[in-house]
Amino acid sequence: MARPNRWVARLAIAIAIAAVAISLYRWWKRRLPSDFSRGGVELTYDVDAARAVDEKFARGLDEAVQGLRREGVVIGAIKPQPRAATLAVTGLDEAKLARALAGLPLAARIQPDGALALSIADARAEQVRDAAMQQVARVAHGRVAALGLCKPTVRQAERRLIVGLPGVDEAGAARVKEALSSTGKLELRLVAETPALAAARPSRGAPADDRWTDPGGSAHALAKLCGAASDLAALHQSLPALPGGVDALAQRDGDRVCLVPVTRGGVSGESVIDARVEEQKGAGGVGVSVTLDKAGAEALDKLTRDHVGARLAIVLDGNVLQTPIILDPIAGGRAWVTFPDADAAAQRRKADLLALTLHTGPLPVPLTLIAEKRIGPSEN
């Protein structure tokens, strides 16, 4: 009978420890400032909810084009308009159109000249804007609460977000502003092979970390256009025409910036289920270990298995962080994000911020701080 009694005792101890931990957590939460009796800060953000509509339409348009091509429709020129587009098409009929657009948030009309007009209805656009505002409020509250500075208040006022930070000082407000400065949209995409960009590359040779070898053993330079960060607009203007489905995204390094061609698609941050700061074994410093859900893990495994020897672009908020070479398929649904160009303190700060933003989920659209109000302590 001694063995069962030992297990009972261990279980009782475990339950007692858990109860103490829960009590301490609740005590800590009660200690967080929840009103402005000791002052605080109020931040007002402008929410670019219209961008959510633009992105919804752009994704719908891409899916519509793919669906039409699967139906055997030949697509010619695409003329974009604000939240609408006109496509020159051949071989389209109503049945093919219905199948290609099934489930997409698009309105369609075949014009007298045979062209296809796609748009997003006003009612649908308003739904997208409202959903974006609700998600912004939810994610913003989660990020600020995760910092453990206070019990924040978050409320909407038209297309603005007002974040109340009771009992928070200037340093704490700076941490909140940093946490809300990034949408936290992580993407894993392939670097595109673009001969036109390689020919336009101004440098005579690529640095060692810009070279890669394909599975056939041929050495290549990573094709990208680089210049001073202040010349980003000029770089975009000098960019040669890129193939369809390829975007030129900025990769910043101090006072320099490069435009890197990356393919659309890949693995999105919506598949992230966990993100943690961890030490880099053997290399020193810290990074962020990202865990993907089943669908994301399978997509990353296929993407890397099919493109061993190519480069994988790790993209955050539309900017390229790294372009590591795919040496082997990445199985298991775990990716690793590092900050090799930062010192130890900056690595830790960037890793903490990235883990926080990924763990609490991405903001659907960027926030722009338009007002900061310091609230003094109440006089009792």
In the chain, % of residues over pLDDT 90:
39
Residue 217 scores a pLDDT above 80: no
Q: Among 9-23, 63-77, 117-131, whose mean pLDDT is lowest?
A: 9-23
Q: Is the residue at 198 inside a domain? A: yes
Residues 193 and 339 in one domain: yes
Residue 213's pLDDT is what?
A: 36
Least confident among 44-53, 258-267, 277-286:
277-286
pLDDT of residue 32: 54
Number of domains in the chain: 2
Mean pLDDT on 45-64: 92
Strand-pair partners of 278? 287
Average pLDDT, whole number, for the chain? 82
Give the pLDDT score at 302.
Answer: 93
Q: Which domain holds residue 346?
A: 186-360
**How sure is the predictor about 109, in pLDDT bands with cuts at 50, 70 and 90?**
very high
- In this structure, the answer to whether residues 246 and 347 fall within a common structural domain is yes
* Residue 157 placed within a domain: no
Average pLDDT over residues 127-143: 94
Instruction: Give pLDDT tens digits for 345-366.
Output: 888 888 888 888 888 889 999 9
Q: Please give the pLDDT value at position 203.
A: 41
**What pLDDT is attached to residue 29?**
46
Per-residue pLDDT, 19:
63
Q: What pLDDT, on the 0 to 100 scale, is given for residue 219?
A: 41
- Verify that 201 and 336 share a domain, yes or no: yes
Q: How high is the pLDDT of residue 338?
A: 81
Residue 213 forms part of a structural domain: yes
Confidence (pLDDT) at 23: 56
| 12 in any annotated domain | no
The CA distance from 94 to 268, in Å, is 33
Instruction: Say what the pLDDT of residue 326 is.
Output: 87
Q: Above 90 in pLDDT, residue 53?
A: yes
245: domain CATH number is 3.30.1360
For residues 353 and 204, state if they share a domain: yes
Average pLDDT (277-306) is 86
Specify the pLDDT at position 153: 92
Reported pTM: 0.72
Residue 1 lies in a domain: no
- Six-digit token string for 257: 């910036």
Same-domain status, 209 and 354: yes
Say whether both 80 and 195 belong to one domain.
no
Note the pLDDT of residue 28. 46
Please tell me the predicted confidence (pLDDT) of residue 359. Answer: 85
- Establish if 151 belongs to a structural domain: no
Highest mean pLDDT, choosing among 82-91, 213-222, 317-326? 82-91
